[in-house]
Amino acid sequence: MQLEDHLLLLLPILVPFIGAILCIFCWRKVTAQKIIALLTQLGLLASAFMLYRHVALHEIVNIQMGGWPAPYGITLVADMLSCLLLVAGSLAGLAVIIYSFYDLDKPRIRYGYYPVVMVMQMGIGGTLLTGDLFNLYVWFEILLICAFVLITIGGTKEQLEGALKYVTINLIASGLLLVGIGTIYGMTGSLNLAQIAVQAQTMPQLQGLFVVASMFFIVSVGIKAAAFPLFFWLPASYHTPPIAVSAIIAGLLTKVGLYVLVRLFTLVFKVEPGFTMYVLLIMAGLTMVVGVLGAATQNDYRKVLSFSIVSQIGYMLMGLVIFTPLALAGTIYFIMHNMLVKTNLFMVGGAVAQAQGSFKFRHLGGVYKKHPLLAIIFFVSALSLAGIPPFSGFWGKFMLAKAGFESGFYTLAGVSLAAGVVTIIYLTKIWNQVFLKERPENIQTLLPVQPLKNMLQLPMLMLLACIVALGIYAEPFIDITMRAAEQLLNSEMYINAVLNNN
Amino acid sequence: MDLIFTVAVGLLFAASLYLILHRHLFKLIVGLMIFGLASNLYVFAIGRLTREKSAIIPSDAEIALEPFADPVPQALILTAIVIGFGLQAFAIVLVKRLYQVAGTDDIDELNNTDKIDSTEK
């Protein structure tokens, strides 16, 4: 039994790592790299699902690396939240890998697209599973350096410009994260999350210092999650690389940042009425508002979606502010839904650009007539994002708004509903400009125009099936997220599982 | 000694932020390096400073004798330095490429990706 725990927890980290090494061995053989990447992704999805099944049966599972008992060794912990995000993340990753077979150009693959994506997946797996604060920092840096490489891969002027902003702000965020970790270590003398949580409960005289330390985490992880007012790097950089890159970083990275916030603010720092809660409250509300307004002003498919990522982060923060089981379940449901929907919308944009050679609205048009299937994929994904019942976004927003009204956060819940209306406005704008209107003639596009490869729609249909299932067959998923939220709020479970497992 | 470290960390953070906010690409890189150094030094200082004794257990004892320097912050910084080295190396290459491709070292001119595309033709 013990051996199985070890293996299950390590596989989501080891599988992409082995895949990356094999890809590096086949550096010059593009086809071999593609096969390895596909198999690795399938393996990752399978291992994430197996871990989820195991956690669903045994609640929280954990292992101590190197056999050193907690809190001295490094702990890997899996609870429902990390497993659900792993499954959703590996699904999105699988779709992007299949997508890249038919869209990404050969030179970029030769520069190591697949190995870097695999290592990034490893970083995401590590961040989601680690139970150690400093280890979390290291995993974060691993996925960050991969994101740097992916954003700059190909080295066009646009990409380098975007990457400069991305790299600068993220290096500052990493520095602040380290400062926060140092502060926590100085206060508690521990890096194990469970041990720190115990210290936080037993040392009320340190409460003030914990608030100070939590601010370092709000700022540093807030930058990585792109929350207001720390999001400006995102719309400046996410639209520059090719879609096979933007889709995966847009779908996964900010959500991993948000996962860290949820983990820390449920386990170590508590969101109680007071300074921390008001900071998070204002951040959540303004992130939603500024995000949707930014999206509504843009005239480029990818830029609209980049701002849209920001606004969706606001909804996820909202659940953390309200801090009831229903609200946290809403956040978890929303993160899963968003990983899939955002990735899918970016991929639709990539397919449109392949057929029409641009992302700018003034170059695009008439996709509905020419590629009706693509239009339907966009339409359903967009309805999910906007939160139209019965699609998945509706349930997430419904849970969050209901929890908000129940706990007396009337303004925040009202803002979230108003932001939902603007979401429909900018999605309608994309629909009109890209799919409905006649395509303008005699235009010079920057990208080459080529006939749309039909296989490109396969990963989108795959994600679409998941999105529709998440929406129409919502009840079991909501039950699962409720269970995950109960685990988060009941932090004794996590602490006992880690510290008393011998 | 704690006071010296505190002041030094503060000065380093201030200097690095000043350089990061500067328009010149080279100063940006120097600023980022100093920022990394400042955060490492901060971790070192906040992990309690103990002089002269390390946490090596003598051969005839079971535990190390107090007072000894806490080895954990040192291990953390060592890791952070290595990670920072990799990230800074990447940032330097990025800036060099950007300078070659864009032909400018003024950050104020590198705002093409932020402009809103108009719907007019």
Residue B40's CATH number: 1.10.287.3510
Whether residue A5 is predicted with pLDDT greater than 80 in this model: the reply is no
Least confident of A384-393, A405-414, A465-474, B52-61: B52-61
3-state helix, strand, coil in chain A (%, to 5): 80, 5, 20
Residue A1 pLDDT > 50 = no
Residue B94 and residue A172: Cβ atoms within 8 Å?
no
Kindly give the interhelix angle for A372-386 and A325-356, rounded to the nearest 10 degrees: 160
Domain range for B102 = 2-54+66-111
Among A174, A14, A114, A219, which Cα is nearest to B86's? A174
For chain B, first and last CA: distance in Å? Answer: 65
Task: Please name the member of A138, A168, A235 whose beta carbon is closest to the beta carbon of B83.
Answer: A138
Q: Tell me whether residue A502 is in a domain.
A: no
Does residue A446 belong to any structural domain of this protein?
A: yes
Cα A486 from chain centroid (whole Å): 21
* Residue B21 resides in a domain: yes
The closest of A420, A470, A366 to A88, measured between CA atoms, is: A470
Q: Are A362 and B110 in contact (CB < 8 Å)?
A: no
pLDDT bin (cut points 50, 70, 90) of residue A501 is low
User: How many residues make up chain B in this entry?
Assistant: 121
Partners of residue A185 in chain B, C-beta under 8 Å = 43, 46-47, 72-73, 76
Whether the per-residue pLDDT at A446 is higher than 80: the answer is: no
Secondary structure element (H or E) that encloses residue B85, with its range: helix B71-102
Q: Is B118 within the bounds of a domain?
A: no
A343 and A250 in contact (C-beta within 8 Å)?
Answer: yes
Which pLDDT band holds residue B121 (cuts at 50, 70, 90)?
A: very low
The mean per-residue pLDDT over the stretch A280-296 comes to 93
d(CA A471, CA A483): 18
- 3-class secondary structure, A63: strand
- CA–CA separation, A288 and A290 (whole Å): 6
Residues of A in contact with B95 (CB under 8 A): 164
pLDDT at A442: 75
When the pLDDT of each residue in chain A is averaged and rounded to a whole number, the result is 90
pLDDT digits (tens, 9 = 90+) for A98-113: 999 998 888 888 888 9
Per residue in B5-54, pLDDT (tens digit) is: 999 999 999 999 999 999 899 999 999 999 999 999 999 998 878 777 77
Q: Percentage of chain A with pLDDT > 90?
A: 66
pLDDT recorded at residue A185: 92
- Flag whether A223 is in a domain: yes
**Burial (CB count <10 Å: 0-12, 13-18, 19+), residue B8:** middle
Query: DSSP characters for B31-78?
Result: HHHHHHHHHHHHHHHHT----S--SPPPTT-SSPPSS---HHHHHHHH
C-alpha A43/C-alpha A97 separation (Å) is 13
Closest residue of A to B16, CA-based?
A172
Confidence of residue A467 (pLDDT cuts 50, 70, 90): very high
Helix axes A193-202, A491-499, angle to 10 degrees: 120
Residue B119 included in any domain: no
What number is the average pLDDT over the span B53-59?
A: 80
Name the percent of chain B lying above pLDDT 70: 97
The number of folded domains in chain A is: 1
User: How does DSSP classify residue A444?
Assistant: -
Residue A502 has pLDDT above 80, yes or no: no
Residue written as token pair 């000894």: B68
Q: What percent of chain A has pLDDT over 70?
A: 99
Helices (H), A130-238: 133-152, 157-188, 193-202, 207-225, 233-237
The Cα–Cα gap between A423 and A310 comes to 12
Give the model's pLDDT for residue A189: 87
Q: Which residues contact B15 (CB under 8 A, 6 or more apart)?
A: B31, B34
Closest CA to A344 of A319, A369, A377: A377
- The amino acid that residue A447 corresponds to is L
Cβ contact B47–A186 (<8 Å):
yes
- A135 φ/ψ angles, rounded to the nearest 5 degrees: -60, -35
A410-430 and A372-386 helices, crossing angle to 10°:
170
- Higher-pLDDT residue of A6 and B89 is B89
Q: Which residue of B has its CA nearest to A306?
A: B114
The residue type of A410 is: Y
| B119–A167 C-beta distance less than 8 A | no
Question: Which contacts of A271-278 are long-range, i.e. CB under 8 A and separated by 24 or more positions?
Answer: A271/A320, A271/A321, A271/A323, A274/A211, A275/A211, A276/A211, A276/A214, A276/A218, A277/A321, A277/A323
Residues forming beta bridges with residue A360, ordered by sequence position: A300
Chain B: nearest CA to A156, how far in angstroms? Answer: 8
Q: Is the peptide bond before B67 cis (omega within 30 degrees of 0)?
A: yes
Å from B46 to nearest chain A CA?
5
Evaluate whether residue B99 is within a structural domain. Answer: yes
Q: Which residues of B touch A238 (CB under 8 A)?
A: none
Residue A343 carries which side chain, given as an amino acid letter?
T
Domain that holds residue A338: 2-497
| Residues A318 and A262 sit within 8 Å (Cβ to Cβ) | no
Tell me, yes or no, if A58 comes closer than 8 A to chain B by beta carbon.
Answer: no
Does any domain span residue B121? no
Nearest residue of chain B to residue A166 (CA atoms): B91
CA distance A492 to A217: 22
How many domains does chain B divide into? 1
Average pLDDT score over residue span A314-341: 93
For residue A461, tell me if it sits in a domain. yes
Q: Give dist(CA A172, CA A164) in Å, integer.
A: 12
The per-residue pLDDT for range A17-59, each reduced to its tens digit, is 999 999 999 988 899 999 999 999 999 999 999 999 999 988 8
pLDDT tens readout for residues A140-157? 999 999 999 999 988 888
Helix, strand, or coil (residue A268): coil
Position A443 confidence tier, pLDDT thresholds 50, 70, 90: confident
